[in-house]
Structure formats: C-alpha cells, structure tokens
C-alpha cells in the first residue's frame, strides 16, 4: 500500500468508532473483494444485498479497495454500521494497476480460505457468492468462474449491441491467444469469480486495467477450474467505467501476457523488427529525394527504424522492465545495439563465405538470423535487466536498515546496563 493510502474497518454492529478500530474480526469462510471507483450510489445497496443473501449461508467479510475521487469511502463506512459482518475499506490515493491492482491489494488483505471478487455496481448478483464457494468445495476446484456463456447464464446486462460485440470480440481474442491456459473457462472476461487463497500468489501478478481474471488464469491458474452460470445484471446506478482508454490498456495487457515467455518475446521482437523497415525506407526515400547522398541518408534513415522499433519494443515486450533504467539510457543502449548489428553483419557474411564456402544468399540469411538472436539477447540483457550494482545497493540498504533497527532495539538494554 502506498504511503498516501488509509484503511478503515467496521466490523458490523459495534457502536463506538474507537472500539471498531480496535476490534480484530474473526476470519470468515469467504472474503468478498470489491474494487470501487466512484460507486457511492451503489455500495449501500450492495452491502444490503450481501447482508440479505450471504451471512445466512456462510460467514463472510467484505473488503472494499477504493480508488474513488468522490465520497465512496465515507458512504461505505456509514453503511457498514448495519452489517452483521466485518467491512474494511482500503483507499488508494494512487490507483496502481487500475481495477486489477485494486483486486490484488484485496487478495493480500483477505483472511479467508475463499476469496470472491465482484464489481461494486450490482451487475454481479451477491446471492451467487455462496454457490460459488459451495461449487468450489464440492469439486475441489481452486477457481470457480461465474460465466455468462454456459447454459443458464446470460449477458443481458450489457448495454447495447456495441458492448456485446466488444465483449464477444475480446473473449474470442483472449481464448485464441491462450488456448491452453483458458481451457475450460468460457468467460475469461468475467469479473465475478471465487478463488482459494492458497491457489494464488499475489506477488507474481502484474495487472493492468480491469480484466484481473485473465491475469490470474494466465500467470497462476489453479489446476482445477469449474464454472457456474450467472445472469449479468443491469447497473444499479451510475455509468460504466469501460472506455476506449481501458480497451487500449486491455490490449497492452494481452500483449504483455502473451510475451511473458522468452520465446514468445523473441517472436514479437522479430515481428517488430520487420515493421521497422517501413519508416526506414520512407526516411531513405525522403532524404534521397531531397538530394542527400545515399550513404548518409541510409545511416539517418536507419535511426528512424531504430526509434520505431524501440517505441514498440518498450510497450509490447518489456513494459514491466522499464523502471530498471532511465529513458535516455535505454534509448542509447538500444540504438548502439541496433547499429552494431549493421557493422557486425558484413564481417559475418565474409566469414561464412570465405571460411565455410557458403553462397552469398545463404550466408546473408544466416548472418541476419545470427545478428537477430544476438540483438535480442543483448537488448534483454543490456537494456532491460536490472543492473547488478542496483541490486547490490538495494540489498545493502536493506541490511543497513536491519542493522539500524537492531541497534535501536538494543538501546534500552544498553542504557539499563
């Protein structure tokens, strides 16, 4: 949690706020995690429906992880006074990872064996929470997905044909990109699911945007997954948070997940390199048309391709590793490697032809493949991996802090002596 966050807990019908703050709630059978962003018109009704349908069938606690800029946290605190179960609000001043990041914070805060994730707009019916947990227990599953696309389910609450088409397209795309990981999950876009706390390691998750189920299924999918049908409801109040910007974040997230393995990342790296010929040739044409000699024009035009490749690789291959170096450092190192490729290729071709008796065409093809692999390995190792000195520095800082804490702890004993 960032330093600007604050936490409040209201464990049901306890009158005194100070007493509520001191109370440590018993772990429930299920922790319901609700990420919220400006849902003040919905949360009171949500808690009312949870109260009506969940505690009678299994113990529960509710954890709201809130990124709101309105009075949603205050509304939750007031509504929690009438709840017979613990209600916690974790407000984040900095919404790292968007809705998915909020869910990860909720998973870390959960105290129950089962965690149910649901939206705060009542499009996910709280009455289904006990069924999700019961289905998981009966089937010994680690993940239970509430699906709109199996018998008994419906996407009725999706407003308009446009949102229906977007939902269908996103579902098809994700299942096409991850056929093995999403096998048995008919609705990977669902935001309503139950997962065993033992089946997920929150630290390995890198959410971006609102499709947290996809992140969970791809990075730490439990061995056994089952589904229950549900009818997607209309929003109780407010407006949908789905925007074109969220759609772009979803696409970036898809690419990041798909390129998580080195082999997939190398393939994307190569495809991006192919697209770099377009700005390269366009720049060469413009410069030579303006009267520049083809040699300096080729050198300058190659830099356009380098910048094009760098931009795409930054956002599609190594998004999560950009924090390891400054932007200017990454650009300089990438450009150096890209231009070294040109210098290295000609001697390699000469070596293959002169020493191994290869023809010019196969020698050129082999040199291209060799320099491509070297460029990929060099880019990953020299541009986007953390610096060894930084890691040592971090470990040294940690040791220094530990030593300082130990000295502070020993100070009273020294004074007594």
| Cα-Cα end-to-end distance for the chain | 40
Q: What is the SS3 assignment for 78?
A: helix
Identify each DSSP E strand in 45-158 by its residue range: 60-66, 86-91, 114-117, 143-147
Q: Return the CATH fold of 6-258.
A: Spore Coat Polysaccharide Biosynthesis Protein SpsA; Chain A (3.90.550)
pLDDT of residue 407: 47
pLDDT 10s digits, 181-198: 888 888 888 889 999 988
Q: What angle do CA 40, 110, 85 make, to 5 degrees?
A: 60
Helices 262-275 and 294-316: angle between axes, nearest 10 degrees = 140
Closest CA to 189 of 203, 158, 168: 168
Domain segments of the chain as ranges: 6-258, 262-389
38 phi and psi, to 5 degrees? Answer: 55, 55
Query: Which residues touch 166 (CB under 8 Å, ≥6 apart)?
Result: 242, 247
d(CA 77, CA 87) in angstroms, rounded, equals: 8
What's CA 61's distance to the chain center, in Å? 25
pLDDT by residue, tens only, the chain of 417 residues:
443 445 555 544 333 333 333 333 445 689 999 999 888 899 999 999 999 999 888 899 999 999 998 899 999 999 999 899 999 999 998 878 778 888 889 999 998 999 999 998 889 999 999 999 999 999 999 999 999 989 988 876 665 566 667 777 777 887 777 887 888 888 888 889 999 988 887 776 766 656 788 888 877 778 899 999 998 887 766 566 555 666 666 677 676 666 666 777 787 788 888 887 788 788 888 888 888 887 788 778 878 888 998 988 887 778 777 877 888 888 888 888 888 877 787 788 888 888 888 887 788 778 878 888 888 888 888 888 876 644 444 444 444 444 444 444 444 444 444
Token readout for 128 is 């289904």
pLDDT of residue 236: 67
d(CA 103, CA 199) in angstroms, rounded, equals: 15
Under 8 Å between Cβ of 349 and 367: yes
Q: In the chain, how long is the greatest CA-to-CA distance?
A: 89
């Amino acid at each position: 949690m960032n330093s600007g966050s604050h936490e409040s807990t209201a464990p049901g019908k306890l009158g005194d706020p100070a007493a509520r703050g001191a109370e440590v709630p018993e772990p429930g059978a299920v922790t319901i995690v609700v990420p919220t962003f400006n849902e003040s018109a919905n949360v009171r009704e949500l808690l009312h429906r949870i109260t009506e349908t969940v505690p009678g069938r299994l113990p529960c606690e509710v954890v709201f992880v809130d990124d709101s800029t309105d009075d949603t946290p205050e509304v939750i605190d007031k509504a929690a006074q009438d709840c017979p179960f613990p209600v916690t609000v974790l407000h984040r001043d900095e919404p790292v990872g968007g809705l998915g990041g909020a869910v990860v914070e909720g998973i870390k805060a959960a105290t129950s064996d089962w965690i149910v994730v649901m939206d705060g707009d009542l499009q996910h019916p709280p009455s289904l929470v006990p069924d999700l947990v019961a289905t998981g227990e009966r089937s010994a599953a680690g993940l239970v997905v509430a699906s709109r696309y199996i018998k008994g389910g419906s996407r009725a609450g999706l407003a308009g044909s446009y949102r229906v088409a977007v939902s269908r397209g996103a579902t098809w795309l994700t299942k096409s990109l991850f056929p093995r990981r999403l096998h048995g999950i008919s609705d990977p876009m669902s935001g309503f699911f139950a997962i065993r706390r033992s089946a997920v390691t929150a630290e390995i998750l890198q959410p971006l945007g609102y499709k947290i189920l996809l992140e969970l299924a791809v990075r730490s999918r439990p061995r056994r997954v089952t589904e229950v049908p549900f009818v997607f409801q209309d929003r109780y109040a407010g407006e949908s948070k789905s925007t074109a910007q969220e759609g772009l974040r979803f696409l970036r997230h898809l690419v990041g997940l798909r390129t998580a393995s080195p082999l997939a990342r190398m393939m994307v790296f190569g495809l991006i390199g192919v697209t770099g010929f377009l700005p390269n040739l366009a720049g060469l044409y413009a410069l030579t048309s303006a009267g520049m000699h083809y040699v300096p024009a080729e050198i300058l035009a190659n830099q356009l391709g380098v910048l094009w490749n760098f931009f795409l690789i930054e956002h599609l291959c190594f998004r999560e590793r950009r924090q390891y170096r400054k932007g200017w450092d990454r650009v300089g190192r990438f450009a150096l490697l890209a231009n070294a490729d040109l210098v290295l290729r000609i001697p390699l071709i000469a070596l293959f032809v002169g020493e191994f008796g290869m023809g010019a065409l196969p020698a050129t093809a082999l040199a291209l493949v060799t320099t491509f692999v070297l460029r990929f390995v060099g880019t990953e190792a020299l541009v986007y991996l953390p610096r060894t000195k930084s890691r040592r520095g971090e470990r040294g800082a940690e040791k220094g802090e530990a030593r300082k804490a130990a000295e502070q702890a020993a100070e009273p004993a020294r004074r007594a002596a």
